Structure 1
């Protein structure tokens, strides 16, 4: 089982700091020096782009094409980045690169071509799902997603069930090299959450580095299932402040899983 070691986390942070420094220097420079710093920053950001590209492998698009698309959008993000006092290039670049890869899939890799309407619904769900989970304290149901996105439940269900249509494999296809069994017979019970174990282990180093109060908020919301108001009353802040802290924490955990 793969886990993120402290050395790996430290290395990623070091790479992120160097990338940020290069881009801020490029933003302040002019002419040839600016171009040189941008080129250096793009080279420093290649591991990030390649890591994101690897997460989309095995879905019907050539690996080299995936990497090329990721690098193209890394370059676009680097050139368009305008640093501020509290900005972070990594947070800016990740959705840019992921969005470019997903756009490439949408236009070039559907084994079963979804209607544009269903693709748009999937994009809406992606944009609200995590924040809604924070507010609710559990992963949202179809009905809750439909209310949050303003989409009919039937349409939303169809869009969600169509995920993974890039390169489907027959459930009846036998795996002769591994005995007489097929994929359909190996489908896991949807109530089984063991598939989350790898992600949980990957998140431990990040969770352990959270401030003590953030760890408490996370535990109270998702382990003890307290409301945001109850959490706020316990630690002496408002419900709105709890909501904002949860959004920040979940964003940080999402970045860790994306890297």
Structure 2
């Protein structure tokens, strides 16, 4: 691609267009590889591939080679930026304020860097300090992660195909039902082992991440995930019994 683009830079007319077209064809695997990293995040895969190809074409057309330049170093951030702009501008099922959208993107980028530096998953306060934002904004951005592709209310529950998610969502105006739910769950929560009750509180009252809870208790994030699944199953059974 580099050779084709350098030749195109000095060519004119049909020869230049032919060289640019050849460079675009050669870059298609790169664009698709970059798009594939964003598959499964709530946006149609074909749309992501198309966006990646569009920004590949822009990169090819706008590239101005110099003695020390490298097209790949120019194209990769261009294509990634185009994909991220597509998510930000078109992919939200629930429209968030622009600032929260930007913080969410920044959190996803900084988390991995801090984890590598700290040799553990960063806390929300550390993320907020790294991004120079308030902790509450990091929490809001994390809580909005499902806004690309919210769960269907018709989706069956993983452990009970006879029930769907919508059956567990109660009418907020039905105060009698709400009181009944609370009264049903309090004994179950009180009967949980101390560690399970602490995990439940940290996740749903303090809004900690699974990684943060695992670091506090001294077990892995995967173990926290399994324990939360078991706790929620007990609570679900209490509501449906």
Quick check: TM above 0.5? yes
Matching residue of 2:207: none
Matches within 5 A, 1:7-156: 19-126=1-108, 128-156=110-138
Aligned equivalents of 1:129, 1:25: Cα separation in 2: 41
Distance 1:144 1:87, change over 3 A: farther
Deviations along 1:117-168, one digit per CA (max 9) or x if unpaired, are 1012123335544544454444432212211211001101211232242112
Give 5+ residue unaligned stretches, structure 1: 1-18, 195-259
The answer to whether the Cα contact below 8 Å between 1:53 and 1:101 also exists between their aligned partners in 2 is yes
Shift of 1:175: 5.8
TM-score by length of 1: 0.55
Structure-2 separation of matches of 1:98 and 1:150: 23
Find the aligned partners of 2:28 and 2:71 in 1 and give their Cα distance. Answer: 13
Aligned to 2:142: 160
- The whole-number CA distance in structure 1 between the counterparts of 2:104 and 2:87 is 13
Residue in 2 aligned with 1:224?
none
Distance in structure 2 (CA, Å) of the matches to 1:146 and 1:92? 30
Structure 2 Cα separation of the partners of residues 82 and 140 of structure 1 = 39
Question: Larger Rg: 1 or 2?
Answer: 2
Sort the Cα spacing of 1:145 and 1:84 in 2 relative to 1 into closer, same or farther, 3 A.
farther
| TM-score, structure 2 normalization | 0.58
Contact 1:22-1:38 within 8 A present in 2 as well: yes
With 54-63 and 108-117 compared, the bigger mean Cα shift is at 54-63
Contact 1:171/1:182 (8 A) holds in 2 = no
Distance 1:51 1:183 in 2: 36
SS state at 2:145 partner? coil
| Contact 1:109 1:166 (8 Å CA) reproduced | yes
Higher relative contact order (CA 8 A, sep 6+): 1
- How far apart, CA to CA, are the structure 1 residues paired with 2:143 and 2:99? 14
SS of corresponding position for 1:151: coil
Cα separation, partners in 2 of 1:30 and 1:104, compared to 1, 3 Å = same
Q: Alpha-carbon deviation of 1:61?
A: 3.2
2:176 counterpart residue number: none
Alignment of 1:229-244 (within 5 A): none
Unaligned runs of 5+ in 2: 166-209, 212-219, 224-241
